A and B are shown apart, each in its own frame.
Chain A
Amino acid sequence: MGVLLADMETLASDVPPHVPRELVRYPAELDTPNCLVDPFSVTEKARTELPPVFYWPKLRPGISAGFWVVTRYEDIREVYQNSELYSNQGAVNFPSLVGENFPMIPLSIDPPEHGKYRILLNPWFSPKAITGLESAIRSTINALIDSFQGRNGCDVAYEFGRIYPVRVFLGLMGFPLEMMEEFLAWEYAILHAEGDVERMRWGVAGAIGFLRGYIAKLRTEPAEGLASRIVHGQVEGRPLTDDEIIGTLFFLWVGGLDTVAASTALMFRRLALCPELQARLRADPGLIPDAVEEFLRVQPLVNSSRLAKQDHEIHGVKIRRGERVMCLNVTGNFDPQEFASPREVRFERSPNRHFTLAGGPHRCLGSHLARRELAIALAEFLRRVPPFALDGPPGPVFPGLIATAHVPVIWQGAVSPADAAGAERSAS
């Protein structure tokens, strides 16, 4: 798979002795940007040529240890669902970068403890709750589209997808709107650090510093929004501890910002490159919710990992207690055992049981918010902006959360987005 075994020996000198050497693989194309129309098509090689369970060695000092990888849809489902065998402890441990040890709540907590935090948060993120946010999301998105008036294109990743999820998040949490620029800068530092750990640390420390200060303020001055409800919230009839409060707010901060931005960038990039898909949605906006589901499937951004709670075997491969197992959604979502013609974008796909938003007890808390944001962004943009294409050749995309920071598009045909008055009329 591109990397010779001899190179692997030096790269992977820390592979535990019980790991069979033939299972140590590094699918470099999953770790490398490409300029393809479908940036995830490179995962087909890993899906078909690698064993269904393989060991991804630690390649860079200090980033993470090596881990096991499962590539098939059914195995991924088992790992997500079986919380008896797989733990979420230590998941997405950004706080440790700056010497903090509070848990990411509810992400890094296992059932049954996990449930008490979900009970606190679920009512804020249910489909019904998100319906209550819909008009705020729509006006946030339309205000951004207004700013494209008089222009013949925009950077749909940088000027649109990067911004609206943060504005929606500020509103939902009740954070001051003037935090916008700093949030964006911290988020950008964490997501686009390109291996620069110091830059990531700056972003993480900035966010935690702000949150701690804001928690202190909310303690004496309760306010509207989810942040204040968490600060003054209860689990099992007792107030949350300081670690629980910062752990929950920081988790929401991390989870709420970059995933929707990256999904937006990739979705619009694909539409810019595939005029026939764009034309179908323009002709039939009723397809948009199913289209969002299909875009989520073909653009899985996160491959979640779990920690083995005991020694066990998958397909005869021995996994030891304490080792990490990654669910490789970038292959599982294209498993032909589950999805017919998996590399095709089919808006009418039914069923579409992808695991882009994970599964089992840790199903993405913000999944319904993300879906609604993407659907509204798509609907309003297509309604108001003329057909668009990429402005220039396709730039490099990382087939994962880092995705791409820039997707410049240029309108074709009509000169400018529909006016704001038109927007108000059909939004009402």
Chain B
Amino acid sequence: MKLQVRKSGCAGHARCAAVAPDVFELDDDGYIAFEAKDVPPEMEASARRGARACPERIIEVQD
């Protein structure tokens, strides 16, 4: 599973990191730190919850 992030749309709600801190790292300003990421199988459920939490809908889950 892969996460694809439209980083320019990140508004710094940081809800992804609040819901799934193990998957979503933030930069020092509190915005998402990566544009793409491979998710190991044991973190998939957490990654999906974090992606869904984004009010801006910029995190796409690619199976």
Contacts and interface: CB of A to CB of B under 8 A. Distances in A.
A126 B29 contact: yes
B53 interface: yes
Contacts of B54: 353
A135 interface: no
A122 B12 contact: yes
Contact of B53 (A122, A350, A357): A350
B53 A127 contact: no
A357 B11 CA distance: 11
A125 B53 CA distance: 20
Contacts of B29: 118-119, 122-123, 126
Interface string B1-39: 000000001011111011100000010111100000000
A285 B5 CA distance: 33
Contacts of A123: 28-29
A422 interface: no
A128 B33 CA distance: 13
B56 interface: yes
- The size bracket of the interface on A is 20 to 34
Contact of B11 (A125, A128, A361): A361
A351 B53 contact: yes
A237 B62 CA distance: 40
Interface in A18-77: 77
A122 B11 CA distance: 11
Q: Is the interface of A mostly helix, strand, loop or mixed?
A: helix
Residue among B12, B14, B17, B26 with most chain A CB within 10 A: B12
Nearest to A361: B11
Contacts of A368: 14, 30
Nearest to A338: B55
Given A81-B9, A122-B30, A350 B14 contact: no
- The size bracket of the interface on B is 20 to 34
B13 A289 contact: no
Given A126-B28, A126-B29, A128-B28, A363 B11 contact: yes
Interface string B29-63: 11100000000000000000100111110000000
A152 interface: no
Contact of A353 (B18, B28, B55): B55
A127 B55 contact: no
A255 interface: no
Contacts of B31: 122
B17 A127 contact: yes
Interface in A385-413: none
A360 B26 contact: no
A359 B11 contact: yes
B32 to A, nearest CB: 12
Contacts of A324: none
A357 B13 contact: yes
A367 interface: yes
Nearest to B17: A127
Contacts of A359: 11, 13, 55-56
Contacts of B11: 359-361, 363
B60 to A, nearest CB: 15
A361 B15 CA distance: 15
B17 to A, nearest CB: 7
A403 to B, nearest CB: 23
Interface in A324-364: 350-355, 357, 359-361, 363
A127 B26 contact: yes
A340 to B, nearest CB: 14
A77 B56 CA distance: 8
Interface in A76-131: 77, 81, 118-119, 122-123, 125-129
Given A351-B52, A354-B55, 9 more contacts: A77-B55, A122-B29, A123-B29, A127-B17, A127-B26, A127-B30, A128-B26, A357-B13, A368-B30
25 contacts: A122-B29, A123-B29, A125-B30, A126-B26, A126-B29, A126-B30, A127-B30, A128-B30, A129-B30, A289-B18, A350-B53, A351-B15, A351-B49, A351-B52, A352-B53, A354-B55, A359-B13, A359-B55, A359-B56, A360-B11, A360-B56, A361-B11, A363-B11, A363-B12, A368-B30
Interface of B: 9, 11-15, 17-19, 26, 28-31, 49, 52-56
**What 5 A-B pairs are tightest by C-beta distance, nearest first?**
A126-B30, A122-B29, A363-B11, A353-B55, A351-B52
